[in-house]
Amino acid sequence: MLRTSLQAGLAGAFLALSSATALADPLVAAAGLAPAAIADEGMWLFNNPPTEQLRERYGFDITDEWLEHVRKSAVRVSTGGSGSIVSASGLVMTNHHVASDILERLSTAENDLLANGFHAETMDAELPCPDVHLDVLWSIEDVTERVDGPAAGLDAAAAGAARRKAMTEIEDAAKKETGLHAEVVTLYQGGRYHLYLYKRFDDIRMVFAPEKGIAFFGGDNDNFEYPRYCLDVTFLRIYEDGKPYVPEHFLSWSEAGAADGELTFVTGHPGSTQRLNTVAHLEYLRDVAVPGALHRLMRQEVLLNIFSGTSEEHRRVAEGDLFGIQNTRKVYLGRTAGLLDPAVFEAKRDEEDRLREEVEKNAEWEEKWGSAWDEVAAAQRAARSMSLRYNVAGGPGLGLGAQLGGYAVTIARLADELPKASTDRLREYGDASLPRLYQGLYSPAPIYPDFEMMRLESALSLMAETLGAEDPMVVAALAGKSPRARAAECILGTTLMDIEARKALVEGGASAVEAANDPLIGLAQALDPFSRELRKRYEDEVQSVERAAYAKIAAARFAVFGEGVYPDATFTLRLSYGAVKGYQDGDREIPPFTEFAGLYEKAEERAGESWYTLPESWSSREDSVVPTTKFNLVSTHDIIGGNSGSPMVNRKGEVVGLIFDGNIQSLIGNYAYSDEVARSVSVDSRGIMGALEQVYDAKRIVAELKGQAAGK
């Protein structure tokens, strides 16, 4: 599944990494630094679209109106995926696995919405989703000069601080002026800064979700595989002022779907790629960051499995986390395999040598940019010296392994940060970020003490296992107790389970926090100085150095190759184009489409295995569904984790599919695009409509998608 690392709960700079499979690919050598993108490559900016490529390859003239229409129909989902508005009444389509955290939170011990699905037969039955918001990209402005200006002439660390301050100022001013959510996006690793303004919606309700058994048919086993048979869809609805939102733009539904070979587009929010990384940077990822992340993922997977085995309630509580961890672990195994493939490195080395040669030929360029690659290498050495410690301390956010731990850190830091000017605070405590921060902090989502205790113990134990029990940070964390005893003390003794208690502490500020003497906040406070020091070192010695050096490399690339290149993914809206197309897997010819009939065949073939057990809604209708209904499809679009839930549209901007995965060969996409065997995987629009009509009898949604009526 194309979840971003955000979704799996893995925030932090060291975890926004890279991906590839072990399959050597002849195209790798040609990709990446080539002056013009090959084939259907590219995650393009909406203000720098691949106009020429579309005209040349497909004879399609992309217009500003077309771009605005699909842009304003696209949404970014706060749980870490993409989606689209698909009706005149604010109906939103995304993936089931993007919405799975929401479904888990809406579940109770009596009704597990992940297992059973959900179908609001009337509008009144639509369920409010706590803590979820959707963003629609309203405008883009280049603010590179405003960000870089204050940094001119400063050393790397001071320049980094100056840029971070300028970004916060720009965001705060824009939010004040427009009321829109503002984010300055760093593009081309610091080559450009764009101000993105979003219309933010936070009254979101659950409309329809199928059972996990069909949404995730084949489970972790078939994840990143093809052919597939998954109904990985969920419908939400945007409300405004308590009523269904009436959008200016939404995507119409294509009942005909796309044909084999047809040009289509994907609009979504790819999370992160590392295609422009230097070789030294990739070596750091290969030898330190990715193995470290893989270790932590596998550890979490085992501990979640143990916890899940202890009771049915524990299984349900941990299911979403386990699902996310297994998905990310599969991605990281792919990345490890790719990074350990010498062919990938050879290609990257060749590309880097070519660019550096061009720079060296020009004395002015060499003077301005020639040192950049060594500077990136120095930043990687710095990262090697601190990454273990930074990661077990939870990265920039000081993770305490659990929901309550996150609240404790936020409350402790708010008490310290709010008295400062917005631009002097830690970036995520700036005025523009506060509404979302409060939304998370005052979430009514259920909290499970057993689960919290297990996760906090795990985080504390990992810290000790990694740094040694006598490391000062570990000593501060454990306070003379074992991880288990310390976790029990903190979780059983905290008042943060209660939303009102959290509000009172935030509103009361530092003195209220001090008076409360909450053990979990005490733990956060004990670790805070270590975390802040590590973060500062990481920002100064790694991020700022990288930022400055990559800005030089980006400038070199613009000079050598021109402006017609796309930046690495940044979890912001991008446009990909490509064709519906099968592929060759060894001896096997894989056709582009699957059908309902194939689902039933597979279920029979793997009978008895839980991942292949159909929900009753599907098994009982085996004889009545139309077996030739197109179900899933593959295409050549350039996508990555975060694109989950992206709509696939045709030239007319109509929905023909819903991205939900890539095949295993596409995991190389973090480093380089290939269209030989790497494929995006979507649910066909005909499969979605077929399921709603033939299996779920969801007349209200069907009518709404067909534009016959606004949902009632």
CB of residue 29 to its own copies, shortest distance in Å? 16
Contact positions vs its own copies (CB under 8 A): 22, 24, 219-221, 283, 286-288, 290-291, 294-295, 298-299, 301-302, 305-306, 309-310, 312, 329, 336-337, 339-343, 461, 464-466, 468-470, 478, 480-485, 609, 611
* Closer CB to its own copies, 254 or 328, in the complex: 328
* Closer CB to its own copies, 445 or 475, in the complex: 475
CB of residue 478 to its own copies, shortest distance in Å? 7
CB of residue 16 to its own copies, shortest distance in Å? 19
Structural contact between residues 103 and 118, judged by C-beta atoms closer than 8 angstroms: yes
Structural contact between residues 647 and 51, judged by C-beta atoms closer than 8 angstroms: no
CB of residue 459 to its own copies, shortest distance in Å? 13
CB of residue 241 to its own copies, shortest distance in Å? 46
Q: DSSP state, 121?
A: S
* Closer CB to its own copies, 312 or 360, in the complex: 312
CB of residue 433 to its own copies, shortest distance in Å? 35
- Taking alpha carbons only, the member of 85, 131, 83 closest to residue 106 is 131
* Closer CB to its own copies, 386 or 501, in the complex: 386
* Closer CB to its own copies, 57 or 295, in the complex: 295
Neighbours of 423 (CB within 10 A): 16
For 141, phi then psi, to 5°, come to -140, 135
CB of residue 305 to its own copies, shortest distance in Å? 8
Identity of the amino acid at 460: L
* Closer CB to its own copies, 312 or 533, in the complex: 312
* Closer CB to its own copies, 286 or 574, in the complex: 286
Structural contact between residues 615 and 211, judged by C-beta atoms closer than 8 angstroms: yes
Identity of the amino acid at 106: L
318 vs 448: CA distance, rounded Å: 10
* Closer CB to its own copies, 302 or 709, in the complex: 302
* Closer CB to its own copies, 248 or 465, in the complex: 465
Q: How many CA atoms lie within 13 A of 633 on its CB side?
A: 28
* Closer CB to its own copies, 336 or 636, in the complex: 336
- Calculate Rg over the CA atoms of the chain: 25
Instruction: Tokens for 710, please give them.
Output: 């606004």
466 vs 398: CA distance, rounded Å: 16
296 vs 292: CA distance, rounded Å: 6
CB of residue 457 to its own copies, shortest distance in Å? 9
Structural contact between residues 346 and 543, judged by C-beta atoms closer than 8 angstroms: no
CB of residue 521 to its own copies, shortest distance in Å? 23
CB of residue 25 to its own copies, shortest distance in Å? 12
- Taking alpha carbons only, the member of 574, 671, 655, 652 closest to residue 343 is 671
Q: Quick one: how far is CA 147 from the chain centroid?
A: 25
Identity of the amino acid at 308: S
- Taking alpha carbons only, the member of 4, 75, 46 closest to residue 194 is 46
Neighbours of 317 (CB within 10 A): 21
647 vs 704: CA distance, rounded Å: 17
Structural contact between residues 647 and 266, judged by C-beta atoms closer than 8 angstroms: yes
Instruction: Point out which residues pair with 187 in neighbouring strands.
Output: 192
